[in-house]
């Protein structure tokens, strides 16, 4: 009987070991370290919130930082705050990411970029039926098309002499609303879901140029813009989104920078985001064979958990309408 139990135990031990060995050899792209010190880092939406916090951290690590945003006054304030905190200067440029020619001029002026952080974004929550088409176009143009503009303008310079310069990075700031659709986020989620397809395809296009893509999924984040935008958020949106608490911009920036430096493709920022990253991994690239193992072993459990979340959300929607 002891031999039977030993054989049974050995069988179930061999399976995960074999799976780990397989994953070790097939996970792609290969692990990488993207240095920040003495590199040129361009951050859009860098005048406040996550972008400004990220600029502080990159400057502290010795990067040459360029900030791009629309407001000249906010850019100057950001420049002074970084100077006071780190003693280092940063370059600031004003441009609207919706204007490709303006973006291209800035990129050509600042010179080759090693790390591009597409952090710009706008968020206007409302039910689709009630939302103006101009607001829908605005979100898609800034969040999605604006990201295309930045990357397209920066790629030629990023690719040049990349082998000699070392690994480069393109980090794209998405949202947990880019992993799961939420009531009141119809247009916003569409603009953020599109970034995942962009990032997955782009990573295949630039991997041989030693450029590595990271897709960051922050939850609600305490920024000046978020405080204003949530004032018009539908109450049902607040009820459903409350399952993932708000984070401080500095915390998101730290998580983002860790992901960028490790070349991680999907970068979650909190525990709920980690669970979402497993549940929505799909065909996304995965450098870590250990993380791939976790994704495989917990896929079924995550699907069950997701169904429970959906059950709870639809129950909240039904209750809301019944009370109304």
- Which residues are part of the catalytic machinery? 174, 188, 192
3-state helix, strand, coil split of the chain in percent (to 5) is 60, 10, 30
Q: Tell which residue, 198, 166, 180, 192, has the closest CA to residue 263.
A: 166
Give exposure, 94-123, as e/b (b: 16+ Cβ within 10 Å): bbbbbebebbbebbeebebbbbbbbbbbbb
Alpha-carbon gap, residue 86 to 84, rounded angstroms: 6
Q: Which residues contact 70 (CB under 8 A, 6 or more apart)?
A: 94, 95, 96
Residues 213 and 186: beta-carbon distance below 8 Å: no
H-run or E-run covering 307: helix 289-323
Alpha-carbon gap, residue 225 to 249, rounded angstroms: 11
Residues 261 and 36: beta-carbon distance below 8 Å: yes
Alpha-carbon gap, residue 119 to 44, rounded angstroms: 5
Between vectors from CA 284 to CA 63 and to CA 207, what angle results, nearest 5°? 50
In DSSP terms, 248 is beta-bridged to 222
Torsion of CA 217, 176, 27, 148, to 10 degrees: -60
């Amino acid at each position: 009987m002891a031999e039977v139990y030993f054989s049974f135990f050995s069988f179930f031990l061999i399976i995960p070991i074999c799976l780990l060995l397989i994953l070790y050899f097939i996970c792609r792209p290969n692990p990488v370290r993207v240095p920040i010190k003495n590199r040129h880092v361009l951050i859009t939406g860098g005048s406040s919130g996550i972008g400004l916090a990220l600029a502080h951290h990159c400057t502290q690590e010795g990067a040459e930082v360029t900030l791009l945003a629309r407001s000249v006054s906010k850019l100057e304030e950001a420049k002074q705050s970084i100077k006071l905190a780190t003693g280092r200067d940063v370059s600031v440029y004003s441009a609207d990411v919706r204007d490709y020619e303006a973006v291209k001029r800035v990129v050509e002026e600042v010179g080759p970029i090693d790390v591009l952080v597409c952090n710009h974004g706008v968020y206007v929550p409302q039910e689709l039926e009630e939302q103006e088409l101009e607001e829908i176009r605005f979100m898609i143009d800034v969040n999605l098309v604006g990201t295309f503009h930045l990357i397209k303008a920066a790629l030629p310079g990023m690719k040049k002499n990349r082998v000699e310069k070392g690994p480069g990075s393109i980090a794209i700031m998405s949202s947990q609303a880019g992993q799961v659709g939420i009531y009141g986020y119809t247009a916003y989620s569409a603009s953020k879901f599109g970034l995942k397809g962009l990032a997955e395809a782009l990573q295949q296009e630039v991997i041989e140029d030693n450029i590595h893509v990271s897709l960051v999924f922050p939850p609600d984040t305490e920024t000046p813009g978020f405080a204003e935008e949530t004032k018009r958020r539908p109450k049902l949106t607040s009820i459903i989104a409350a399952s993932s608490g708000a984070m401080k911009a500095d915390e998101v920036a730290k998580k983002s920078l860790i992901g960028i430096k490790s070349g991680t493709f999907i970068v979650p920022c909190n525990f709920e985001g980690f669970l979402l990253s497993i549940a929505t991994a799909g065909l996304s690239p995965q450098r870590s064979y250990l993380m791939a193992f976790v994704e495989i072993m917990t896929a079924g459990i995550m699907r069950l958990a997701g169904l429970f979340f959906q059950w709870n959300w639809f129950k909240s929607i039904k209750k809301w309408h019944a009370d109304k």
